[in-house]
Structure 1
Amino acid sequence: MILIFDLDNTLIDRNKAYWLWLQNNVLYKCKTVDKSLILYYDNWGYTSRHHFYNWLIQKYELSISSDELIEKCANELHQYISKNQETLIILKRLKEQCKIVIGTNGGIQNQTNKLKATGILPYVDHVYISEHIGCKKPNPNFYKHIQNDLNCLSSEIMMIGDHYNQDFLVPKKLGWKSIWLSHNSTLIHDNKICALKDLIPYLRENKLLFSS
């Protein structure tokens, strides 16, 4: 089986790292900042970066452009991402029976820097980044590009990610298996895990992974 993982807020705690970067590298001169409001507008990184940064610049009267903030983030965010030993152990165990693939939206530089910081690359067979592909999730061409490049059947692929639409619904419509990493959402769903540590038990329970 081929397991395709989203990156941000699936294999790494992007929200935690992003807030630390904003706090220490962007908003450090501000006397007071509203963390909950900022993260609300950021929306787990799904708000357009230009839209979000223009709002942030106006809100806190920052002397920097949205383009400069985008570049600054790409160069610096990885400094706030650390290795997660639990994630590394999970990927190592999965690697014994599955191919591990990353399928992520974002810029090549930013996502590559994050991947290097996590220490997960030794367990990954392929990395697909939207900027390189030329389209991003949930565009069906993103998933089709990956499947064609891997030269496999849709039934051989499983997508795991935190975004309900682009990591679960769209792949499922294309014939992939998919699991929604819900981060403890109260929404009831059969193909849902609450945290990454639940993935191996889920796969074993559904006879998609042999006990080792």
Structure 2
Amino acid sequence: MKIKGIKDVFFDLDHTLWDFDKNSALTFHKIFKMHNVTVDIDEFLSHYEPINLEYWKLYREDKIDKASLRYNRLNDTFNRISFQADSTLIHKLSTDYIAYLTSFNHLFQDTLGTLNYLKPKYRLHIITNGFQEVQESKLKNSNIYHFFKSVTDSEQVGVKKPNPIIFNHALQKVKANPESSIMIGDNMEADVLGALNFGMEAIYFNYLKTAAQSHIKQINKLEELKLFL
């Protein structure tokens, strides 16, 4: 079951190593209190999380820009729960959300143990579609930045996963070859199929245990990477 010949291991960050949903929920608790937004946080999040994923898909496909993503995911959620929020409040919340998001830095269970296990054996890297100004802070504030030889984000490259250009850029930067590289991430389209189509190995971090095609290598917990690497 071990994958032979791998030298470089590329990770996604959000929803893979960094527990985005947990940290995001804590951030909303904080900024709603700051701005006296009186909503049921659990109801808000139950709508926000799928809306956010839909907007990220549009952003990944270059159908919307960053500002639209940040504003509309909040506006749509407030509309869904019938909470009256004017554009001034939404802009303030959008700005403060980014400002405070990296003050919470919960990692997925087994992140540190898995990175400590892999680091002596492979070169480790990050490829992320996240915003450049916050991704480095997430890595540093959660004390995992030192594990990685390189960090490639979509804003510096100008395209997003699954575009092969971002994979090529990340590998060229560290002189890695596709056939000796593997991508690990939670998004089937962006991380797994993007990497496979580029000629890399890939493992689907299926922590939500959704249905996936049987030929796709997958794990439900990060520690299960030890089965492959």
TM class by shorter chain equals 0.7 to 0.9
Cα deviation digits, residues 109-157 of structure 1 (max 9, x gap): 2111111121111211111111122221122211111122122221011
- Residue 36 of structure 1 is matched in structure 2 by 46
Residue 23 (structure 1) shift: 2.4
Question: For residue 60 of structure 1, what is the aligned residue in structure 2?
Answer: 83
Matched, 1:197 2:215: no
Structure 1 residues 44 and 26, CA, compared in 2 at 3 Å: closer, same or farther? farther
Provide the rounded CA distance (Å) in 1 between the counterparts of 2:139 and 2:15. Answer: 13
CA distance in 1, matches of 2:73, 2:211: 28
Query: Considering only aligned residues, what root-mean-square deviation do their CA atoms show, in Å?
Result: 2.3
- Tell me the TM-score normalised to structure 2 length: 0.79
Q: From 126, 139, 158, give the equivalent of 2:182.
A: 158
**Deviation by residue 1:36-84 (Cα, 9 ceiling, x = unmatched):** 1222222387253332123235443235365544432222101121356
- SS of 2:15's partner is coil
CA distance in 2: counterparts of 1:23 and 1:45, whole angstroms? 21
Distance in structure 2 (CA, Å) of the matches to 1:38 and 1:6: 22
For the Cα contact (< 8 Å) 1:74–1:109, is it kept in 2? no
1:179 paired to 2:177: no
Normalising by the residue count of structure 1, what TM-score does the alignment of the two structures yield?
A: 0.85
Runs of 4 or more consecutive aligned structure 1 residues displaced over 6 Å after TM superposition? none
Letter in 2 for 1:200: K
Match of 1:207 in 2: none
Seq. identity, %: 25
> 1:21 aligned to 2:46?
no
Name the residue aligned to 1:206.
none
> Contact 2:162–2:193 at 8 Å: present in 1 too?
no
Aligned partners of 1:72, 1:44: CA distance in 2, in Å? 21
* Higher RCO (CA 8 Å, separation ≥ 6 residues): 2
Which sections of structure 2, spanning at least 5 residues, go unmatched?
A: 1-6, 58-68
More deviation in 174-183 or 40-49? 40-49
